[in-house]
């Protein structure tokens, strides 16, 4: 989506929907910010994509570390990827506590 946004010449702002649980791996007081990554999200994604599905499933707890689940882990990686690759795109990140259907 970010690559598409970079092609839009009249784009005013890019909106990314994340989750309020994006930093659920942290303890105590959590600031409303994007914390510096421990590792490059692109390297992590490349490593996971080179593994077999069975290997990923077997090693999931080790891969996601202190995160409670893959959802919060991948949302965290996505935010860090965005920040590293925005270039001159203006971006807002929304962090709702829950996402439900709407009419």
3-state DSSP assignment of residue 73: helix
As a whole number of angstroms, the distance between CA 55 and CA 70 comes to: 15
pLDDT score for 100? 76
**pLDDT value at residue 71:** 92
Q: Over the stretch 23-73, which tens digit does the pLDDT of each residue have? A: 888 888 888 888 876 788 999 999 999 999 999 999 999 999 999 999 999
In this prediction, residue 17 has a pLDDT band, given cuts at 50, 70 and 90, of: very high
- Mean pLDDT over all residues of the chain? 90
Residue 29 is predicted with a pLDDT of 86
Token pair of 89 as six digits: 């795109």
Task: Determine which of 6-15, 57-66, 78-87, 93-102 has the lowest per-residue pLDDT on average.
Answer: 93-102
* Alpha helices, DSSP H, located in 11-59: 41-49, 53-58
Query: Half-sphere exposure of 67 toward its Cβ, with a 13 Å CA cutoff?
Result: 18
CA angle 77, 80, 85 (to 5 degrees): 120
Burial of 73 (C-beta count, 10 Å sphere; 0-12/13-18/19+): buried
pTM for the full model? 0.83
């Amino acid at each position: 989506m970010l690559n598409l946004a970079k092609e839009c010449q009249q784009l005013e702002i890019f909106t990314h929907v994340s989750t309020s649980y994006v930093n659920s791996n942290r303890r105590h007081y959590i600031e409303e910010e994007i914390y510096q990554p421990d590792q490059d999200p692109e390297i992590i994604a490349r490593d996971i994509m080179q593994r077999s599905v069975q290997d990923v499933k077997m090693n999931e707890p080790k891969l996601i570390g202190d995160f409670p689940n893959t959802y919060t882990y991948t949302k965290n990686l996505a935010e860090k990827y965005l920040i590293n690759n925005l270039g001159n795109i203006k971006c807002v990140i929304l962090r709702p506590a829950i996402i439900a259907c709407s009419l």
